[in-house]
Structure 1
Amino acid sequence: MSIKAIAARVFAARVNRKTQRWAQNPVRSQENVFKMLLKVAGDTAFAKAHSFSIISTHQEFADNVPVRDYEDLKPFIDRVVAGDKDVLWPGKPLYFAKTSGTTSGAKYIPITKESMPEHIKAARNAILSYIHETGNSKFVDGKMIFLQGSPEMEEKNGIKLGRLSGIVAHYVPNYLQRNRLPSWETNLIDDWETKVEAVIDETIPERMSVISGIPSWLQMYFERIVQRTGKKVGEVFPEFNLLIYGGVNFEPYRAKFKSLIGREPDTIELFPASEGFFAYQDKQNEKGMLLLLDAGIFYEFIPADQFYDERPPRLTIGQVEIGVNYVMIISTTAGLWAYNIGDTIAFTSTAPYRVVVTGRIKHYISASGEHVIGKEVEEALNQAATKHHVIIDEFTVAPQLDTPTGELPYHEWFLELEKAPDDKTLIDFATSLDLAMREQNSYYDDLITGKVLQPLKVRILPQGSFKNYMKSIGKLGGQNKLPRLSNDRKIAKFFDEP
């Protein structure tokens, strides 16, 4: 074993002890973060506008600081972007993480000198947690992909801006630089398909031990390796034994990845975003990711089924329950206050607090009152796919209300499969999928039983269809993710057109 591998084990044990201290005192950890945030930001424009000086309890905070998404917080962010100081957080941000917006166009998420180290520490600790649990540190001697967007940055009123993953590239520690791929020059390539080919050129000759990225990107990378070499990824990279991923639920990809790799490597799931690094998988055999309660982020949780009520409850960490779907609200050292990141989560454990991402509060289907969410469609699809040995490449779901006279509306599932099944298998698969959905969602079951909806229909798309869709909207590759479900047919329309 190398000196680096031995040192990694020692460092991992030290970090684990620190993690246990705050994880075993979750409520106090969050109270400390809450008090620190209010104190440090007390002289900012936002604090003065929201009476921070009279806030000492969470209830007072909830009474004075409404929940906001980016659009609601934009007037304050616009001032920061214009170069004003002491608006949301003392001074100016170090960076803006530039992300794709909706009605507002580009979004500029501030990253400060206090929040930036937490992104780096969380990514590091995720790997160290794995080393401490498994004792496996040999991979640190191999080559690793920590895929990111272009590290090239622009400047706006004296503040650098770029994609979060590109910003993070500037913070890769020196001891990893020699092991890190792809090269700086390859990461500067903007066109995603060209970049994938360049990454493959650089990695195929190397001893890859860790591969990290969003599953949709990794799938493209793995498929191209198989196409080029005629071998499974695990044959091309025999030392590859750790897959790190985040951004979307991995389960719909699991069977496909096993097929492409030829085996199942160990995995570490991450829950990062431009707004903060929230959680990472701390145990190989436990469901859920450890929620980071001592990382400059104060969390509130709103039950998803009450989110659009006039005054929904805003719960703190000590008030949540296992298995409930919550919208996660954050206040951070980047100056985001009672900020709705749009993700929904559920707790799988409260000792310690672990979460799974269940979807997006704006990504749902309720065209007929069914209230279907991402977690439900993913669970149902996994059940049906496993039962009928169907391997899913990618999918999305949309309602179909525009049916011929006398035909009931239905949910239409658009699937790309590794191999198209025969007609009987496809019929049986669709039947199993519909039954699984009825088990997952009682509202959907009631609508089928009451003949408001007919059973779902499955449409098999040609290989490359979703790639073509993402390319058509300028969101192929990078951190972009295909919505699993929509309450309209904006995505479906692309596949409806001849």
Structure 2
Amino acid sequence: MMFSLKSALAKPFAYIIKKSILKWANNPVETQHKVFENLIAEAKHTQFGKDHDFSNIKTHADFVSRVPVRDYEDLKPYVERVVAGEPDVLWKGKPIYFAKTSGTTSGAKYIPITKESMPTHIEAARNAILMYIAETGNANFVDGKMIFLQGSPILHEKNGIQLGRLSGIVAHFVPKYLQKNRMPSWETNCIEDWETKVDAIVEETLPENMTVISGIPSWVQMYFEKIQQKTGKKVGEVFQNFNLFIFGGVNYEPYRAKFESLIGRKVDSIELYPASEGFFAYQDQQKEKGMLLQLNSGMFYEFIKADEFFNEQPTRITIKDVKLHTNYVMIISSTAGLWAYNIGDTVQFTSLAPYRVIVSGRIKHFISAFGEHVIGKEVEQALKEAVEGSSVQVSEFTVAPQINPTKGLPYHEWFIEFENEPQDLGILAAKIETALQAQNSYYVDLIVGKVLQPLKITVVKKNGFQEYMKSLGKLGGQNKIPRLANDRKIADALTKNNLTN
């Protein structure tokens, strides 16, 4: 292989960045304290800062007493003033962008991105790759082509501020040294219809030396399937130098077996935890579970135990008081002007030195129709254990309560789209049931107490989940299927249109 200046330079750069990351990661409490002090100082003359007496906030306890936890709906009166063009509302000056997201309860959400917060999104994505290079010594992939499956980079304007999806905004900030390697082309990236876009991406990438592929697993899966349909070959044969898959947005585990089948071999992967509100964490070690929490990126973190979250006065703690393997709702304050903001995710810490997290679910995406408190991580883990070592492959799934069955006790209904269906659904259901009961004592009590009967599986037809997302206008981009819900909105839609006969 020819000597490559780019890959040769990547390694020393990676080691320099790793050293700077370890500096703050090894001083976590002090790092977060500095972030907190800076946030309060910078925002005390904003409207929000004046309304909440920032001038007299010296400690975390002061902050807790003055600034309540808010979600988007609660913060909306301030956001609307920012959207209207008013400066110095949540953060000094005006934002440089709004990341527009489709909220489940509040319609469109406008998340401000400021000149201080924007670089942290870019640096975290870059550092995830550099930490991989520093750990593995593998930098050859930087000479090949890289694809990032994302939303359209076309931006619109609202009262002088650029507006678009986060992935589209980020597309404007790809470093110059990656521009030649980056795919798809700008024209293809601007295609709005997701299926048309994926077809165009397949055509563009087939002749190329693809080394890195990135995106939300469910949408990368569609891309891989189209490649296989067109070529009749495994993705790993088509792209022989493809060795790194970068993903975020959902847990990869339910997709891993399917991906290895589509690729035809194992590839390294890096998990990211990006959101419109901030780039919170990324996988910094191949052999460690969890992602390194970004403590030096202009974000101050608070945590509330998930099972206390809906209490009248839940306790808000900082990183120095968190414990391993406990389900926390993550609350952030940031240089984007979000204050004690509930992003809706639940996390668990897998390490406290350094601080690493996994996303365990959504505080609104759980099943507790009967007091069982079943969360996303539990259903994903149960399914993973149930199919392990078998030929069963799952494409997509979601879980909902069946409160009024035609006969018998209520139960959890698992809607599963299979790539490889089991010969006996009953055996698979029993394995999932066993694995779920092993994780959740509330659920066991309800089964034993004859409040619930064991779960049942309902098979969704091939591409049924894609059709459901398409019907909502949410096919592709950053959209994803919730793993579970406390109601039957998704379940009823799937039952109506997308079940096998």
Q: What TM-score do the two structures reach when normalised by structure 2? A: 0.98
Question: Which amino acid is 1:447 matched to?
Answer: L
Question: Which amino acid is 2:339 matched to?
Answer: W
Distance in 2, Cα, partners of 1:159 & 1:442: 50
Q: What is the aligned partner in structure 2 of residue 457 from structure 1? A: 456
**1:148-172 per-position Cα deviation (integer Å, ceiling 9, x unaligned):** 2111110000000000101011100
Q: What is the aligned partner in structure 1 of residue 110 from structure 2? A: 108
Q: What is the aligned partner in structure 1 of residue 483 from structure 2? A: 484
Distance in 2, Cα, partners of 1:185 & 1:497: 37
Given the alignment of the two structures, is residue 317 of structure 1 paired with residue 319 of structure 2, yes or no?
yes
Given the alignment of the two structures, is residue 278 of structure 1 paired with residue 280 of structure 2, yes or no?
yes
Given the alignment of the two structures, is residue 390 of structure 1 paired with residue 389 of structure 2, yes or no?
no
Question: Which amino acid is 2:484 matched to?
Answer: L
1:466-477 pair list within 5 angstroms: 466-477=465-476
Q: For residue 104 of structure 1, report the CA deviation from its aligned partner.
A: 2.4
Gaps of 5+ in 2: none
Q: What is the aligned partner in structure 2 of residue 241 from structure 1? A: 243
Out of 397, 401, 422, the position equivalent to 1:399 is 401
Q: What is the aligned partner in structure 2 of residue 428 from structure 1? A: 427
Contact 2:18 2:131 in 1 (8 A): yes
Distance in 2, Cα, partners of 1:388 & 1:305: 35
Aligned to 1:100, the other structure's residue is in SS state strand
Q: For residue 401 of structure 1, report the CA deviation from its aligned partner.
A: 1.0
Q: For residue 496 of structure 1, report the CA deviation from its aligned partner.
A: 2.1
Q: What is the aligned partner in structure 1 of residue 18 from structure 2? A: 16
Q: What is the aligned partner in structure 2 of residue 94 from structure 1? A: 96
Question: Which amino acid is 1:481 matched to?
Answer: K
Contact 1:420 1:460 in 2 (8 A): no
Distance in 2, Cα, partners of 1:495 & 1:354: 36
Question: Which amino acid is 2:188 matched to?
Answer: T
Distance in 2, Cα, partners of 1:246 & 1:340: 19
**1:75-119 per-position Cα deviation (integer Å, ceiling 9, x unaligned):** 000000000000000000000000002332110000000000000
Aligned to 1:119, the other structure's residue is in SS state helix
1:64-463 pair list within 5 angstroms: 64-405=66-407, 407-423=408-424, 426-463=425-462
Out of 31, 42, 54, the position equivalent to 1:40 is 42
Aligned to 1:272, the other structure's residue is in SS state strand
Aligned to 1:497, the other structure's residue is in SS state helix
Q: For residue 459 of structure 1, report the CA deviation from its aligned partner.
A: 1.2
**1:30-64 per-position Cα deviation (integer Å, ceiling 9, x unaligned):** 00000000001110000000010110000110110
**1:325-362 per-position Cα deviation (integer Å, ceiling 9, x unaligned):** 00000000000000000000000000000000000000
Give the % identical residues. 67
Distance in 1, Cα, partners of 2:81 & 2:439: 45
Distance in 2, Cα, partners of 1:302 & 1:421: 40
Distance in 1, Cα, partners of 2:73 & 2:104: 9
Q: For residue 387 of structure 1, report the CA deviation from its aligned partner.
A: 4.5
Aligned to 2:93, the other structure's residue is in SS state coil
Of the structure 1 ranges 356-365 and 99-108, higher mean CA displacement relative to structure 2 is found in: 99-108
Contact 2:324 2:348 in 1 (8 A): yes
Q: For residue 191 of structure 1, report the CA deviation from its aligned partner.
A: 0.2
CA RMSD after TM alignment: 0.8
Aligned to 1:475, the other structure's residue is in SS state coil
Distance in 2, Cα, partners of 1:489 & 1:265: 37
Q: How many correspondences in the alignment?
A: 495
Gaps of 5+ in 1: none
Q: What is the aligned partner in structure 2 of residue 493 from structure 1? A: 492
**1:403-460 per-position Cα deviation (integer Å, ceiling 9, x unaligned):** 135x10000001011122223xx22111111111111111111111111100000111
Question: Which amino acid is 2:209 matched to?
Answer: R
**1:116-169 per-position Cα deviation (integer Å, ceiling 9, x unaligned):** 000000000000000000000000000000222111110000000000101011
Contact 2:128 2:270 in 1 (8 A): yes
Question: Which amino acid is 2:210 matched to?
Answer: M
Deviation above 3 Å: which 4+ runs of structure 1? Answer: none
Question: Which amino acid is 2:118 matched to?
Answer: M
Q: For residue 388 of structure 1, report the CA deviation from its aligned partner.
A: 3.7
Distance in 2, Cα, partners of 1:433 & 1:64: 45
